[in-house]
A and B are shown apart, each in its own frame.
Chain A
Amino acid sequence: MTILEDRPSNPAAGDHDRPIGHGRMQRKEDPRFVRGKGHYIDDIVLPGMLHGAILRAPVAHARLVSIDTTEALAHPKVLAVITGSDLQALGLAWAPTLSMDVQAVLVTDKVRFQGQEVAFVVAEDRYAARDALELIEVEYDVLPPVVDARKAMDPGAPVIRDDLEGRTDNHIFDWEAGNKAETDAVFASADVVVKQEIVYPRVHPAPMETCGAVADFDPIDGRLTLYETTQAPHAHRTLFAMVSGIPEHKIRVVSPDIGGGFGNKVGIYPGYILAVVGSIVTGKPVKWVEDRSENLMSTSFARDYIMQGEIAATKDGKILALRTNVLADHGAFNATAQPTKYPAGFFHIFTGSYDLAAAHCTVTGVYTNKAPGGVAYACSFRVTEAVYLVERMVDILARKLDMDPAELRLRNFIKKEQFPYANKTGWEYDSGDYEPTMRLSMKMAGYDELRREQKEKRERGELMGIGISFFTETVGAGPRKDMDILGLGMADGAELRIHPTGKAVVRISVQSQGQGHETTFAQIVAEEIGIPPEDIDVVHGDTDQTPFGLGTYGSRSTPVSGAAVALVARKVREKARFIAAAMLETRPEDLEWEKGRWFVKGDPSVGKTMAEIAMGAHGTVALPEGIDGNLDAEVTYDPPNLTFPFGAYICVVDVDPGTGHVKVRRFIAVDDCGTRINPMIIEGQIHGGLTDGVGMALMEIIEFDAEGNCLGGSFMDYLIPTAMEVPDWETGFTVTPSPHHPIGAKGVGESATVGSPPAVVNAVVDALAPFGVVHMDMPCTPARVWEAMQGRTRPPV
Chain B
Amino acid sequence: MQIPAPFDYVRASSVDNALALLDRHGAESRVVAGGHSLLPMMKLRLARPDWLIDINDLFELDYLLVDGPVMRIGAMTRHTTLLESDDVRRLFPIICDAERVIADPIVRNRGTIGGSLCQADPAEDLSTVCHVLEAVAVVRGPAGERMLSMAEFHRGPYETAVAQNELLIEVRVPIRAGSGSAYEKVERRVGDWAVAAAGASVTLAGDGTISQVAVGLTAVGLDHNVTEVEAILVGQAPAETLFIEAGRLASLACDPLADQRGPIDYKRHLADELTRRVLRVSCSRAAASVSDITI
On chain B, the residues within 8 Å of A134 by CB distance are 5
Query: Taking the complex as formed, is A131 at the interface, i.e. its CB lies under 8 A from any CB of chain B?
Result: yes
Which residue of B44, B260, B270 contacts A659 across the interface (Cβ within 8 Å)? B270
Tell me, yes or no, whether B186 is within 8 Å of chain A by CB: yes
The reply to whether A725 and B262 form a contact with Cβ atoms under 8 Å apart is: no
A724 touches B190 (CB 8 A): yes
Task: Tell me whether A131 and B193 are in contact in the complex, defined as CB-CB below 8 angstroms, given that A659-B273, A783-B266 are known contacts.
Answer: no
Q: Smallest Cβ distance from B125 to chain A, in angstroms?
A: 16
Q: Does B6 contact A (CB under 8 A)?
A: yes
Residue on B with the closest CB to A719? B189
- In the complex, chain B residues 237-262 whose Cβ is within 8 Å of any chain A Cβ: 260-262
B262 to A782, Cβ gap below 8 A?
Answer: yes
Query: Which residues does chain B contribute within 8 Å of A127, judged by CB atoms?
Result: 3, 6
Is A786 positioned at the interface, with any CB of B under 8 Å from its CB? yes
Binary contact track A173-213/B, C-beta < 8 Å → 1, others 0: 00000000000000000000000000000000000000000
Whether a CB of chain A sits under 8 angstroms from the CB of B155 is no
Contact partner of A131 (CB less than 8 A), chosen from B6, B192, B261, B269, is B6
Measured CB to CB, the closest approach of chain B to A168, in angstroms, equals: 35
Q: Are B104 and A722 in contact (CB under 8 A)?
A: yes
Could you tell me if A716 and B263 are in contact, using CB atoms closer than 8 angstroms?
A: no
Can you name 20 A-B pairs with beta carbons within 8 Å?
Answer: A126-B1, A126-B3, A130-B3, A134-B5, A289-B1, A659-B270, A699-B188, A703-B260, A716-B40, A719-B188, A721-B189, A722-B104, A722-B189, A724-B190, A782-B195, A782-B262, A782-B266, A783-B263, A786-B262, A786-B266
Contact partner of A783 (CB less than 8 A), chosen from B1, B3, B262, B277, is B262
Q: Which 8 A-B pairs have the closest CB atoms?
A: A783-B262, A724-B190, A130-B3, A658-B273, A291-B2, A783-B266, A719-B189, A659-B186
* Inter-subunit contact A786/B269 (CB<8 Å): yes
Considering only CB atoms, which chain A residue lies closest to B276 in the complex?
A: A658
Q: How far is the CB of A760 from chain B (nearest CB, A)?
A: 14
Highest count of chain B CB atoms <10 Å: which of A719, A781, A783, A787: A783
Given the interface pairs A658-B277, A725-B190, A786-B266, the reply to whether A717 lies near B260 with Cβ below 8 Å is yes
Pick the contact of B2: A292, A719, A721, A725 (CB < 8 A): A292
* Chain A residue with Cβ nearest B262: A783
Chain A residues with CB below 8 A from B270, complex form: 659
* Interchain CA distance A131-B5 in the complex, whole Å: 7
Chain B interface, number of residues (Cβ within 8 angstroms): 26
Question: Does A711 interact with chain B (Cβ within 8 Å)?
Answer: yes
B192 near A783 with CB under 8 A, answer no
CA distance A782 to B195 in the complex (A): 9
Which positions in B face A, CB cutoff 8 Å?
1-3, 5-6, 40, 44, 104, 186, 188-193, 195, 260-263, 266, 269-270, 273-274, 277
Asked whether B263 lies within 8 Å of A722 as measured between CB atoms, the reply is: no
State how many angstroms separate the Cβ of A594 from the closest Cβ of chain B.
53
Q: Which of A131, A703, A711, A781 contacts B188 (CB 8 A)?
A: A781
A238 CB-CB contact with B under 8 Å = no
A787 — which chain B residues lie within 8 A by C-beta? 263, 266
Residues of chain A within 8 A of B6, CB atoms compared: 127, 131
Is A714 on the interface with B (CB-CB < 8 A)?
yes
Complex interface: chain B residues within 8 A of A42 (CB): 1
Q: Which residue on A lies nearest to B1, using beta carbons?
A: A291
Contacting pair B186 A782 (CB below 8 A): yes
**CB-nearest residue of chain B to A722:** B190
Neighbouring B residues of A126 by C-beta, 8 Å: 1, 3
Give the complex CA separation of A661 and B260 in angstroms: 15
Within 656-708 of A, Cβ neighbours of B (below 8 Å) are at 658-661, 698-699, 703
Known: A717-B260, A781-B262, A787-B266. A722 touches B191 (CB 8 A): yes
Separation of A447 and B279 alpha carbons in the complex (Å): 38
Q: Which residues of B contact A291 (CB under 8 A)?
A: 1-3
Q: What residue in chain B is nearest A781 (Cβ atoms)?
A: B188
Instruction: Choose among A131, A714, A725 the residue that contacts B189 (Cβ–Cβ < 8 A).
Output: A725
The residue among A131, A292, A786 with the most chain B CB atoms within 10 A of its own CB is: A786
Of chain A, the residue at the smallest CB distance from B5 is: A131
Give the docked Cα–Cα distance between A714 and B266 (Å).
24
Residue of A nearest to B6 (CB): A131
Q: Indicate whether A293 reaches chain B with its CB closer than 8 angstroms.
A: yes
Question: In the bound complex, what is the Cα–Cα distance between A42 and B1 (angstroms)?
Answer: 10
What residues of A have a CB within 8 angstroms of the CB of B263 in the complex? Answer: 783, 787
Given A126-B1, A127-B6, A716-B40: 7 more A-B contacts, CB < 8 Å? A291-B3, A292-B2, A659-B270, A660-B266, A722-B104, A782-B266, A783-B261
Q: Which residues of B contact A714 (CB under 8 A)?
A: 44
Query: Which chain B residue lies CB-closest to A290?
Result: B1
A719 to B188, CA, bound (A): 8
Q: How far is the CA of A537 from the CA of B203 in the complex (A)?
A: 70
Interchain CA distance A711-B258 in the complex, whole Å: 14
Query: What's the minimum C-beta distance from A721 to chain B, rounded to whole angstroms?
Result: 7
Cα of A192 to Cα of B266 in the assembled complex, Å: 36
- Most-contacted residue by chain A among B2, B40, B189 (CB, 10 A): B189
Bound complex: CA of A292 vs CA of B263, how far in Å?
28
Chain A nearest CB from B193 CB (Å) reads 7
Contacts of B186 in A (CB 8 A): 659, 661, 782
Task: Point out the residues of chain A lying under 8 angstroms from B192, CB to CB.
Answer: 716, 719
Report the Cα distance A405→B41, complex, angstroms.
48
Least CB separation from B269: chain A residue: A786
A711 to B261, CA, bound (A): 12
Min CB gap A405→B, angstroms: 27
Determine which residue in B2, B6, B104 has the highest number of CB atoms from chain A within 10 A of its CB, and name it: B2
